[in-house]
């Protein structure tokens, strides 16, 4: 029988990797809560229309990457490829209009069928935040600063660059779209097939094309900022002034866009040069038209998401697993006492490893293998004297400690 392997693009998170993932998630939680955000959890699968309607029928996610299937009831179901659409659906389904402004954060697995590479898997994990119900630029400043603070908490200050752009309001987008379409139609014979299809339905997506020929054409395309009206310029200026006031450095990238119509005003990404081609570690933007697109009431929104796998590759200073205390009972009476002794120590928050069998030599070998900080040796003589031999496995020093004082003695060594 062939050895079983995980499905391509998925991977097991072993204990060391789990600690790195948990460090990312916990720091996101801590910073989000400092900003007044509360946790939300949505199902990992939704009706397909939740994503097809929100991500656009010309996006790569919808056309190439979604894990979609029909359940036994004949319903079209999709494993979530991102978190924002589920949060927006939850907002509508649960009638949360009265809770505005709504400030939430989330974490969990996402699924996309794409080519696996460093920091990118078919099952991957994200953390993210969403702020619903605030139309003004103060929301943009807050959400971006939350992202910056989160990355700082991971020790990434100075290792990431904030790129930011404005997509303007609908009037500005319409003006830019018209100019872009006119320009691209002049190069129609040189565009890739994907970009030709997008030109009719979603021309801004052409700016995201990975095709090398398209990139050459796009390099000379009109720039969004040349088509902004005064309202949009003032909005963006307020955002950049707010970031400057908070000491958050940024680079204006006029080519940074979001292709779908429900996006507006601010788009941003934090990027790094330390992960090769997959340089974006956190990305977001304002999506004032999303909830209306999904059939809900017109509701402003802005948020971001960050890839946990990518951040875990960068994060430093992850706290190691706590070193346990190894109980080494010798004899039946000691085995029985060790069972209750382990329970006493664990109730005092001492991490305890209680071996199941083996002589003294084997148990001590296991204690060293698991990195125990101390071994508690308990035999007939120790039981009779009401003590345990405690051996410091770093120094080799061994002392007799009364059983009644064992919890206090071991607690001090944590």
359 phi and psi angles, rounded to 5 deg: -80, 180
Is the distance from CB of 213 to CB of 190 less than 8 angstroms?
yes
The verdict on whether residue 142 carries a ligand-binding annotation is: no
Domain ranges of the chain: 15-169+229-314, 325-412
Where are the strands (E) in 211-263, listed by range? 251-252
The verdict on whether residue 106 carries a ligand-binding annotation is: no
CA 75 from centroid of its chain's CA atoms: 29
pLDDT tens, residue order, the chain (414 aa): 457 898 888 889 998 899 999 999 999 999 999 999 999 999 999 999 898 877 765 455 555 688 888 989 999 999 999 999 999 999 999 999 999 999 999 999 999 887 766 657 889 999 999 999 999 999 999 999 999 999 999 999 889 999 999 999 989 988 988 898 888 888 888 888 888 888 877 788 788 777 888 888 888 888 888 899 999 999 999 999 999 999 999 999 988 887 676 788 999 999 998 877 668 999 999 999 899 989 999 999 999 999 999 999 898 777 888 999 999 999 899 999 999 999 999 999 999 998 777 788 888 889 899 899 999 999 988 999 999 999 999 999 999 999 999 999 998 655
- What CATH fold (topology level) applies to the domain 15-169+229-314? BirA Bifunctional Protein; domain 2 (3.30.930)
The verdict on whether residue 126 carries a ligand-binding annotation is: yes
pTM as predicted: 0.87
* DSSP code of residue 82: -
Is the distance from CB of 272 to CB of 161 less than 8 angstroms?
yes
As a whole number of angstroms, the distance between CA 238 and CA 233 comes to 9
Domains 15-169+229-314 and 325-412 agree in fold = no
Is the distance from CB of 385 to CB of 369 less than 8 angstroms?
no
**DSSP run (H or E) holding 364:** helix 360-369
The verdict on whether residue 263 carries a ligand-binding annotation is: yes
For domain 325-412, the CATH superfamily is: Anticodon-binding domain (3.40.50.800)
The verdict on whether residue 307 carries a ligand-binding annotation is: no
Q: Give one DSSP letter per residue of 131-167, joined into a string.
A: EES--SHHHHHHHHHHHHHHHHHTT-TTT-EEEEEE-
Is the distance from CB of 113 to CB of 67 less than 8 angstroms?
yes
């Amino acid at each position: 029988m062939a050895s079983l392997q995980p499905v391509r693009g998925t991977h097991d998170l072993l204990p060391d990797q789990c600690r790195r993932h948990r460090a990312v998630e916990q720091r996101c939680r801590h910073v989000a809560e400092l900003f007044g955000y509360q946790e939300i959890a949505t199902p990992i699968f939704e009706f397909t229309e939740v994503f097809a309607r929100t991500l656009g029928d010309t996006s790569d996610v919808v056309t190439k990457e979604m894990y979609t299937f029909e359940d036994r009831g004949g319903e079209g179901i999709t494993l979530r490829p991102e978190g924002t659409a589920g949060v927006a659906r939850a907002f509508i389904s649960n009638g949360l209009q009265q809770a505005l402004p709504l400030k939430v954060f989330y974490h969990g697995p996402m699924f996309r069928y794409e080519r696996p590479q460093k920091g990118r898997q078919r099952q991957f994990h994200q953390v993210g935040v969403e702020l619903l119900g605030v139309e003004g630029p103060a929301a943009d400043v807050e959400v971006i600063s939350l992202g910056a603070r989160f990355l700082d908490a991971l020790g990434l200050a100075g290792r990431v660059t904030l790129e930011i752009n404005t997509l303007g309001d609908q009037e500005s987008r319409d003006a830019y779209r018209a100019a872009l379409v006119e320009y691209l139609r002049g190069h129609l014979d040189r565009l890739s097939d994907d970009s030709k299809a997008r030109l009719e339905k979603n021309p801004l997506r052409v700016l995201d094309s990975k095709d090398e020929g398209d990139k050459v054409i796009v390099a000379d395309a009109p720039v969004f900022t040349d088509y902004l009206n005064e309202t949009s310029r003032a909005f963006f200026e307020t955002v950049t002034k707010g970031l400057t006031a908070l000491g958050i450095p940024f680079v204006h990238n006029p080519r940074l866009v979001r292709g779908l119509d429900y996006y507006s005003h601010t788009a941003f990404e934090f990027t790094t040069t330390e992960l090769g081609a997959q340089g974006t570690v956190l990305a977001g933007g304002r999506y004032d038209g999303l909830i209306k697109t999904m059939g809900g009431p017109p509701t402003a929104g802005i948020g971001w998401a960050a890839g946990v796998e990518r951040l875990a590759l960068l994060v430093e200073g992850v706290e190691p697993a706590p070193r346990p205390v190894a109980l080494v009972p010798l004899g039946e009476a000691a085995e029985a006492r060790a069972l209750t002794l382990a329970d006493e120590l664990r109730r005092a928050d001492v991490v305890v490893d209680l071996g199941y069998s083996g002589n003294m030599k084997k148990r001590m070998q296991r204690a060293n293998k698991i990195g125990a900080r101390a071994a508690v040796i308990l035999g007939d003589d120790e039981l009779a004297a009401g003590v345990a031999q405690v051996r410091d496995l770093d120094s080799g020093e061994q002392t007799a400690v009364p059983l009644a004082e064992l919890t206090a003695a071991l607690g001090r060594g944590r």
